[in-house]
Structure 1
Amino acid sequence: MRIHHWNWKRLISILLSTAAAVSLVLSAAVPASADDKLDELLKQKQEYQKQLEEINQQIADNESNRADAEEQKQLLEQQQSVITSQIDLITAQKNDVNQQITAKQQEIDQKQADIDAKQADIDQRWSDFKLRMKAMQQLNDGGSIALLSAATNLYELLSFQQTLEDIYSKDEEVLAELDAEYNDLNNQKQDLENDKAELESNLATLSDLGDQLDSKNQELKASIQEQDATISESEALAQSLTEEQKKIQAAATEAENAYDSYLQSQIKQYGTSVQIHCSLDFINPLNSYKYISCYFGDGGHGGTDFAAPGGTDIHAMADGVVTNATYHYSYGYYVMIYHGTADDGNSYATLYAHMNSQPLVSVGQTVSKGELIGHVGTTGNSTGNHLHLEMRVNGVRVSVLPYISY
């Protein structure tokens, strides 16, 4: 028996709200236990879904923390690389300055040797000069008079006197030159020592800077170790959370299946008196899309994927009642609609997955063909914006393409 479109939608809505209301529509009252059972299964399903959402949030937060730690570690390693390069440069400069100091000390030592040699030369010259002066003094004391008396003419007398004066002048000149050379060598040595002192000052500055860089490098090393510890803890926590997620997901799936099965049984039970009819007049849920990115059956794929921009409207393919409108770890945000039984005796349902946010419809709500139920997204196990669309006949997934235009 086929009923008016408005009647069956109202019937399903009433069935999913309260058993008492159903009794006003149906000739036979729905047992209170059936409604309680449905509520119990729904609460159980929602509780597991809540746990799943919480652990998914923990996984997302943990992944965010790990990503932050890895990003921070990368920044620290970049800073450490810069610091290490600066330390290498400072070390090379210190080595160069040390070599210059060594070379300068060698020049100073050589200059000191030159000074010592010059001093020895001066001492020897001075000793010779004193001997000559002593000899000339002796001549003045008597010997010179005899020599002067031996002169046969004025020329010899003047020549002898000039010779004595020349010897004295030459000695004075040589001693003056030696003294000037000695002073010059000392000045050169002082310049070298000043240069060395400046190099040693530069070396001290470089050493201080190197110590500061070493200290900063140690701080960075400690910070990197902290980030490594955070990453390791995050990875361990991720593994633990994933295991817990699997357990909760298994329980959630079991609760969801129990709820779906019981809901379907109730719908079928009351369908014996008033049949919910499916016209098989399905429409494409998307007004437009880019292309089909994955077909039903490809690699065991249970639906057909329509690539479309994020936010694209998703419409109900036919009249029906919403049996699921929630979040699933694989489907992401999704909606499932039961469309009733067609003339061929088969029951039909459709599923719309990876919506960008909470669906626009709720469980138990009746929807009309073309009604907006959500928007295209990439939530759950998805690698890009698309609609994962499933057709289920008697609960078995089949390709949706034979039922729609595409």
Structure 2
Amino acid sequence: MNKLKRILCAMLCVCMISIPMAIPTTVSAEDSISDLEQQLQQLEQENQKYQKILDDTKSDIAEKEEYKSALVSKVQVLDEKIAVTREKISSLNDDIKEKQDAYDKGLSEVEDQFDALANRLRILYMSGNATDLEIIFGAKDFSDLIDKMELVKSLANSDKELISEIQTKLDELSTKKESLEADKKDLETQQASLKSDQDEFNKLISDNDEILKNLYASNSEAQNSLESAALQSDEIEAKISQYYAAQKAAAEHAAQASQSSSSSSSSSSSSSGSSSSGSSSSGSSSVIVPSGSGFAWPTPGFTYLSSEWYEDREVYNHGGIDIAGAGIMGTPVVAAADGTVVATNSSCTHNWGKSYSCGCGGGYGNYVMISHAGGKMTVYGHLTSLTVSTGQTVSRGQVIGYVGSTGNSTGPHLHYECRLNGVRYNPMSEY
């Protein structure tokens, strides 16, 4: 009977080893679950980097667009001022032309008056070059004398007044023309200044447009990178899901094989009933089956959450919980449930609080990933050191490492994640 049990156990082991190979899956030998998880972490880091670039460029674009809008408004105001100045200069040109025409007309009148005066003098000269006394003494009688005296006086006063009046008009026209030309010159100076300001603002707009062009290019590049990273993440998530689906199918198939083996053993000998039951129990204990809740808390004695599940961190949402507290540095971290260590990193030496990521472990620093029953997985990040290695089987409550601040960590804490078929979920749902 013992020999039969050994044969059945050997057959069961063969079934369990061979079944996963028979289940179709796209997870190749080189794409181990550990490699896939690390690739996923790297993509998440890239996602965070490009998301930050995207957010920064969006902010810069909004700022530059607002700045451009202000510049355009100023240019529009300058355009309006230049248009008004042009109208004023045009109006002044019309006034200057009008005053020039009046000046030219007045000058023509003065020339006509001088011509008339010269003509009278020429007539007097041709009459014998008579003087005023000769004209007076040549009077025939007293009445003629009075008339001649009034004529001479009238001619002299009329010519003086006319010449004086015309000269005054010419002076006024000249003064107004000079004033208008001075106003025109002042407006032309203002126009030149406004045009200079306009050119300066247009230059600023041109420079700003160049900056916007580069920002839009960076924004587009970051968006394309995010989309590419998302596609790669989807592919890796699909591979991880297929891995766990294959693992689950293998477990179910092995469980069925174990039950069949137990049934065969029971039917072959009723006297081995209790032994068969023990064999069945032994077989089922080697099969990973979901245990529901009952996860052990990973940091005994420390329950304070410094970061909640899915906490908004601007460029991404927190994919786990952070457990912290005074004195937590270097304290034990235990496995939440029975399982197998599928990935680890213990190379990070940057064990202190920092406002940046040292890049170790894809941001996790030193970490442990454990695969559990039912496609579940737990991740323990930022550890000081590890006490387990990849491929090792661990039990619930077993110490797997110690709390630290490696990787992308601002201070001592445990980053704790739970995943189901590769998809993160709230760890607190297990407690």
TM-score interval (norm. to shorter) = 0.5 to 0.7
1:272 aligns with 2:282: yes
Change (3 A) 1:229 1:349: closer
> Residue deviations 1:279-305, cap 9 Å, x none?
x79789897789xx99xxxxxxxxxx9
In the alignment, which residue of structure 2 is the partner of 1:124?
Answer: 112
Say if 1:336 and 1:349, in contact at 8 Å, map to a contact too: no
Aligned pair 1:240/2:228, yes or no? yes
1:179 is matched with which residue?
Answer: 167
CA distance in 2, matches of 1:357, 1:106: 84
Q: 2:32 aligns to what SS in structure 1? A: helix
Residue by residue, what CA displacement relative to the aligned partner does 1:249-308 show, whole Å, maximum 9, x if unpaired? 22234446667999999xx999839x89x9x79789897789xx99xxxxxxxxxx9999
**2:85 is equivalent to residue 97 of structure 1:** yes
Q: Which deviations, in whole Å up to 9, do the C-alpha atoms of 1:38-81 show, x marking residues without a partner? A: xx999922212222222222222222222233233223212211
Q: Distance in 2 between matches of 1:138 and 1:163?
A: 18
Q: Indicate whether 1:198 and 2:208 are aligned.
A: no
Q: Give the alignment of 1:3-402 within 5 angstroms.
A: 44-138=32-126, 141=129, 145=134, 148-153=137-142, 157=145, 160-255=148-243, 272=282, 323=341, 364=392
Preserved CA contact (<8 Å) 1:55 1:245: yes
Does the 8 A contact of 2:336 with 2:378 survive in 1? no
In 1, Cα distance between equivalents of 2:172 and 2:279 = 122
Distance, in Å, in 2 between the alignment partners of 1:281 and 1:96 is 80
Residue-by-residue CA offset, 1:64-115 (whole Å, 9 max, x unaligned): 2222332332232122112211211221111011011001101101111110
Secondary structure of the structure 2 residue equivalent to 1:53: helix
Change (3 A) 1:258 1:390: closer
| Contact 2:50-2:226 within 8 A present in 1 as well | yes
Q: Is the 8 A contact 1:45 1:256 kept in 2?
A: no
Residue 374 of structure 1 and its aligned partner are, at CA, apart by 7.0
CA contact (8 A) 1:84 1:217 kept: yes
Which amino acid in the other structure matches residue 194 of structure 1? A
Paired with 2:50 and 2:279, the residues of 1 have a C-alpha distance of 46
Match of residue 357 from structure 2: none
Distance (whole Å) between structure 1 residues aligned to residue 374 and residue 71 of structure 2 = 67
Q: Deviations over 1:1-59 (max 9, x none)?
A: xxxxxxxxxxxxxxxxxxxxxxxxxxxxx99xx9xx9xx99992221222222222222
Consecutive unaligned residues of structure 2, counting only runs of 5 or more, are 1-12, 21-27, 255-277, 310-319, 346-361, 409-414, 421-426
1:140 is displaced (CA, Å) by 5.5
Give, in whole Å, the separation in 2 of the partners of 1:252 and 1:157: 139
CA offset digits 1:133-169 (Å, max 9, x no partner): 234435564698576444434x863663354134213
Structure 1 range deviating more: 252-261 or 51-60: 252-261
**Deviation by residue 1:104-128 (Cα, 9 ceiling, x = unmatched):** 1011011111102211221222222
Distance 1:98 1:81, change over 3 A: same
TM-score by length of 1: 0.59
Give per-residue Cα distances to partners, 1:191-223, cap 9 Å, x unaligned. Answer: 211221222222223223322322332232233
Query: What percent of counterpart residues are identical?
Result: 14
Q: What's the offset of the Cα at 1:185?
A: 1.0
How far apart are the structure 2 equivalents of 1:324 and 1:335?
A: 6
Structure 2 distance, partners of 1:307, 1:317, is 16
For residue 191 of structure 2, give the secondary structure of its aligned residue in structure 1.
Answer: helix
DSSP 3-state at the match of 1:206: helix
Change (3 A) 1:61 1:308: closer
3-state SS in 2 of match to 1:130: helix
Amino acid in the other structure paired with 1:223: I
Aligned with 1:272: secondary structure?
A: helix
SS of aligned partner of 2:157? helix
Give distance in 2, aligned partners of 1:262 and 1:165.
Answer: 142
Q: Note the aligned Cα RMSD (angstroms).
A: 5.4
Amino acid of the structure 2 residue aligned with 1:152: D
C-alpha distance in structure 2 between counterparts of 1:62 and 1:352, whole Å: 27
What amino acid sits opposite 1:107 in the alignment? D
CA distance in 1, matches of 2:234, 2:228: 10
Indicate conservation of the 8 Å contact 2:378/2:418, yes or no.
Answer: yes
Q: Gaps (5+ residues) in structure 1? A: 1-29, 295-304, 339-346, 380-385, 392-396, 402-406
CA contact (8 A) 2:33 2:342 kept: no
